[in-house]
Amino acid sequence: MPAQTKRRLQLPTELELERIVTLKEAHALSGLSPDCWRDNYRHLIIQLSPRRQGIKLKHVLGVGQPAA
C-alpha cells in the first residue's frame, strides 16, 4: 500500500498569507522558539483551542522586517 501524502489546496498568495500555522511551524520558518513567540509576540498568537495556538503566516514572515 503506497504511503499517503497530505494534499493542500493551492491558494492565491494573498489568501495563503492568511493561513494559520502552528507555533512549531512558526519556529521552523522564523527560527524563533515557541517560548520567544509567547513572550515577545503574544499579541499575534491566536488561540485555536484550549491547548493549541497558531499565528498567521504573514506575521511569521513579517517578524523582524521593517513595516513598508
Range of the domain at 49: 15-62
| Contact yes or no for 31/64 (Cβ under 8 A) | no
d(CA 48, CA 68): 29
User: Does residue 31 lie in a domain region?
Assistant: yes
Q: What is the mean pLDDT of residues 18-36?
A: 93
pTM for the full predicted model: 0.76
Percent of the chain with pLDDT over 90: 68
In the block, which residue shows the cell 492565491?
Answer: 12
Q: How many domains does the chain have?
A: 1
User: Does residue 35 lie in a domain region?
Assistant: yes
At residue 3, does pLDDT exceed 60? no
> What are the grid coordinates assigned to 34, written together?
515557541
User: Does residue 3 lie in a domain region?
Assistant: no
The DSSP code sequence of the chain is -PPP--------HHHHTT-EEEHHHHHHHH---HHHHHHH-GGGEEE-SSS-EEEEHHHHHHTTS---
User: Does residue 10 lie in a domain region?
Assistant: no
